[in-house]
Amino acid sequence: MRRAVILGSLLGAMTMAATVQAAEAKCETFGSLPDGSHVDAVVLDSGHGVRVRVIAYGASLQEVVAPDRSGKGANILLGYATLDDYLKKPQYFGATVGRYANRIAKGRFTLDGHEYSVPVNDGPNSLHGGTKGFDKVLWTIGAVKNGADGASVTLTYVSPDGDMGYPGKLTATAIYTLDARNRLTIEYRATTDKPTVVNLTNHAYWNLAGEGSGSVMAQKLTIPAETFLPIDKTSIPLGEFKPVAGTPFDFRQGKPIGRDIRTNDSQLLNGRGYDHDFVIARDVAKEPRVVAKVEDPASGRIMTLKSTMPGLQFYSGNFLDATSVGTGGQVYRQGDAFALEPQFHPDTPNQPAFGSARLAPGQEYRHVIVYEFGTEPAQAKH
């Protein structure tokens, strides 16, 4: 009996050790900037078929490999093979965007009685932090860890007071963690020395059939949102919380992305497809909640997305125009990917009804995003 107990304890310890070692992190070199600065990368491996590469430029996801229903892996994230491509034709591929993700109307907002101007880079509006947002700077790689909770890398960037017109010295942190259950978690944190506005998210473009494989219009999307934010012709929200019921924006029961995209709906015309914020809730959550689920019938891949933020920007790849060649050597065309960006609602600094994106000294901004990767078996034919 005692031998059995000891043997069981040893087997348990070995199993625990295997679990601890299942997710691993490895450092690599990805390239160099024109000024000679090295851009490093960290590869996170779950040990169960999912592998992720994070590069220091833009604190960006550069690759996400996930298995299909037969166990065959493919890169399901749009991106570039070389650093030069990221520099020559920025597309926000997998990047951390900020200080304020999404749009600020006319590049202006008022905070505590002071008006601030930020660069206009999207028609009349400011997009994703301006002309040199967080996606176009070199972040510092800090801790790289392996452990029972997964493999992780921590990146930091200090944005000086006045950077792109935003007030306050902002210290931002991005922590990427991949665990043995094939869950990729991104935790964004930020602190400031002056009142400012902050909205950080990841701008990953996904194609669950594999990057460069063609259209995502047949992939099934579910978004548990009762309302969305209609936009004007420059993609700024009109201020209305419009019910999705009876509109092409109703994804509550799940449907192929392309089912209603060619509907003669003024909102789809304004966005040239889907490029709208869905209202998941009115407040920030303490723990991540499900904000979307995507299923690819062909490969069986499933991605469930969770976030603590109240909004989710869904973008159907409307402006991919065959001028970018991806990691697999294929060009990316309109509708070849989708983006799901959890965040504060667009233009919140100018629209109090959307809540507040204000961050004050002594407070900490925190946003947690979780991508859960899995598969479903093929449907039996009758």
Catalytic residue from among 63, 128, 187, 203: 203
Question: Is 276 considered catalytic here?
Answer: no
Question: Is 341 considered catalytic here?
Answer: yes
According to DSSP, the β-strands at 73-75 and 95-97 are: unpaired
Q: Token digits for 10?
A: 């040893």
116 three-state secondary structure: strand
Angle 369-40-178 (CA atoms, 0-180°, nearest 5)? 30
* Cβ within 8 Å of residue 66, ≥6 positions away: 49, 50, 73, 74, 76, 182, 301, 373
In one-letter notation, the amino acid at residue 42 is V
Could you tell me if 191 and 363 are in contact, meaning their C-beta atoms sit under 8 angstroms apart?
yes
Place of tokens 């944005």: 159
> Is residue 189 reached through a cis peptide bond, with omega within 30 degrees of 0 on the bond before it?
no
* Cβ within 8 Å of residue 299, ≥6 positions away: 68, 69, 74, 208, 209, 210, 375
Catalytic residue from among 63, 341, 345, 367: 341
**Which residues are identified as catalytic?**
203, 341
